[in-house]
Amino acid sequence: MIKKIVLFLGLALIVSCSTSDDSPSGGTTDDFDRAALLTNLADNIIIPSYQDFGPKLSTLKGAIESFVATPNQSTLNTARTNWLTAYKAWQHVEMFNIGKAEALNQYYYFMNIYPVTVSDIETGVNTGSYDLNSSNYHDAQGFPALDYLLYGVASDDAGILSKYASDANAQGYKDYLTAVIDQMDSLTQQVITDWTTVYRNQFVNSTQNTATSSLNKFVNDYIFYYEKGLRANKFGIPAGVFSTAPLPEKVEAYYNQEVSKALSLEALNAVQNVFNGKAFNSSATGASFKTYLEHLNTNRGGQNLSTIINDQFNLARTKIEGLNSSFSQQVTADNSKMTDTYDVLQMAVVYLKVDMVQAFNISVDYVDADGD
């Protein structure tokens, strides 16, 4: 026993002397062209993603206006179709919480906080008194509020239509629905305008490695989104990873009941496309986290880190594809498939948040707040 300890410590000491530093293998000096990476991100991914999302949101706004003017099954269906189209496009921009999006006190707080607090919406409908700019209403607006207002205010379509047509509060519902889409549209236009006027150059030219440089912030936002927006919100929270029991009512698009899987696949594709520097509008690829890691020759256990990360994303996609299209039904029917998917997503957190950031020499500016 004692001999074993001594032997083991001896080995540990030898090892500790032979390591030169604790960075991942490679050790090439970092002469990677960060400006090229930032340019590819801005010009081929971020701005095109917003330019796809913006018009889809405007189309949704028009559809909601038509529904509000003439609430019937046809206008409701059109509004719902455009809601889903815009919601899918949103999955490609939620991670870009930088520039104007950040300056708006977190644009995504106004776009996709779920689950919604139904009582806040219903009280707002009843009283006409609400403030969508207040943080109290972050969970009473955006796509999740539209989800409730278009799918959840009554148990069937006839009931939903009557809320907007004949209900005593019909005007209140119309006003609230209009206020929500107007807020979303207005904020989105501000973000897009900022990118296409001043922020693009600012973003691309900030090539240093400081806590406030573009890439440092972007990498942090990217990993934060992956960990929180994708992994936790879409999978971990409903699967009960952070609670005593599963919470099937906390899935994205809960009232629609059919698209939580489709939205999460969009989100995963968006994450992987950014990682690989794949242009939004074509299959072309450019400077990216992937090429940066390859430039640094970053390995993990003898394998390219960029390959490991892509493999993990692909495995996650396979897992997600095997789930029920409604995650709340999946959680209720067989939660272990949901946690199994979560586990695969979580594996990539380590690769991104430990290995990748070490290779880039970037500090993570947030930590899990889960201690005693």
Residues near another protein (CB under 8 A) are 1-2, 4-6, 8-9, 12-13, 16-17, 19-22, 236, 239-241, 244, 335-336, 339-340, 342-344, 346-347, 349-350, 354, 363-368, 371-372
Residue 16 or 282: the one with the smaller Cβ distance to another protein is: 16
Q: How many helices (H) and strands (E) does the chain have?
A: 17, 2
Of residues 231, 57, 233, the one with CA closest to residue 146 = 57
Residue 168's CB is within 10 A of a number of other CB atoms, namely 8
How much helix, strand and coil, in percent to the nearest 5, is found in the chain?
65, 0, 30
Buried-exposed string 291-330: b where 16+ CB fall within 10 A, e elsewhere: bbbebbebbbeeebbbebbbebbeebbebbeebbebbbbb
Q: How far is the CB of 235 from another protein (least distance, A)?
A: 10
Backbone region of residue 101 per phi and psi (left: phi > 0; alpha: psi in -120 to 50; beta: other values): alpha
- Residue 182 or 343: the one with the smaller Cβ distance to another protein is 343
Least CB distance from residue 229 to another protein, whole Å?
18
User: Quick one: which of 292, 316, 273 has its CA closest to 49?
Assistant: 273
Cα atoms in the Cβ-side hemisphere of radius 13 Å centred on 128: 6
**Whole-angstrom Cα distance, residue 233 to residue 323?**
16
Q: Closer to another protein at the Cβ: 13 or 284?
A: 13
What's the closest the beta carbon of residue 14 comes to another protein, in angstroms? Answer: 8
Nearer to another protein, 11 or 198 (CB): 11
Give phi and psi for 300, each to the nearest 5: -140, 120
Q: Supply the minimum distance, in Å, between the C-beta of residue 293 and another protein.
A: 20
Q: In the complex, what is the shortest distance from the CB of residue 238 to another protein, in angstroms, rounded to a whole number?
A: 12
Q: How far apart are CA 116 and CA 125, in angstroms?
A: 14
Backbone angles phi, psi at 254, to 5 degrees: -60, -40
Rounded to a whole number of angstroms, the minimum distance from the CB of residue 307 to another protein is 19
Buried b (16+ CB within 10 A) or exposed e, 344-354: bbbebbebbbe
Cβ nearer to another protein, comparing 168 with 245: 245
List residues bridging with 300 in a β-sheet: 303
CA-to-CA distance for 217 and 366, rounded, in angstroms? 11
Of the pair 285, 324, the CB lying nearest another protein is at 324
Residue number, 255 or 351, with CB nearest to another protein: 351
Closer Cβ to another protein, 145 or 241, answer by number: 241
CB of 346 to another protein, least distance (A): 4
Closest distance of CB 20 from another protein, Å: 5
